[in-house]
Amino acid sequence: MNPSLTFKAGVHDVLPTVFGYIGVGLAFGIVAHTSHLSLLVVAGLSFIVYAGSAQFIITSMLLLHDPLSAIFISTFLVNSRMILMSTSLAQYFRHESLTRNLLIGSLVTDETFALAMNKQNKTNGKLSFAWQSAANVVAYLVWGIATIVGAVLGGLITNPERFGFDFALTAMFIGLVYLQLISDRHLGLSLQLMVMLFVALIYYFMIGIMSQNFALLVATVTGCLFGMEMKKCR
């Protein structure tokens, strides 16, 4: 990853990440097909909802015939972390118009956010609209196409869990965490590991008194505050 912030550089930087999108996208398409969702519904979920973990949850809830209200609330809670990510990312685009900020925010994902954080480590804390848009759009298109291809291939695979497709999303997040740990020299490995442990502990205790999604949100916010205080003490 070089310091360039052009559109072309954004496409180049996001390419290694899209292999994860392809794997998870194919997995979602196959799982959705085996859950009896039509190709049109799969495409709609991918290009409108555009949220990997939420799409898996929506698929399972549709299969169980859960009410739409429960599906909407669950999707919002699962994706509520994007509020924190977009707020963090917005500081790099204060000079851009509201329209451009909305375009960036509407397509940002866990992966493109992590990529942006890694990128700003190489550019002295700077990002550009062209670079971020390239990363977002390429990821968006690859995800959508991969899920549709997966849905088409789903007719050939009757038991996706047998091939570990249900673990694809988890595997990609582990890879992203690893990249963050080795690339951010400013924070340091020890501080990052300490914050990760703190978040894991908070989540572990909170999950016993509230839903998983609320516990995740509480652990994330608390982890941010803990990280800020620990950084001041360094």
Query: C-alpha dihedral over 125, 130, 131, 133, to 10 degrees?
Result: 120
CA of 49: how far to CAs of 75, 152, 217, 233, in Å? Answer: 9, 20, 20, 40
| pTM of the shown model | 0.71
Average pLDDT for consecutive 10-residue bins of the chain (234 residues)? 87 89 86 87 93 84 80 80 86 92 91 89 89 95 94 75 63 66 69 87 88 76 82 72
Per-residue model confidence (pLDDT) at position 51: 87
The full set of domain ranges for the chain reads 7-183, 186-234
Q: Look-up: residue for tokens 């008194």?
A: 209
The whole-number pLDDT of residue 101 equals 92
**pLDDT at res. 46:** 94
DSSP secondary structure, 112-128, as one string: HHHHHHHHHTTTTS---
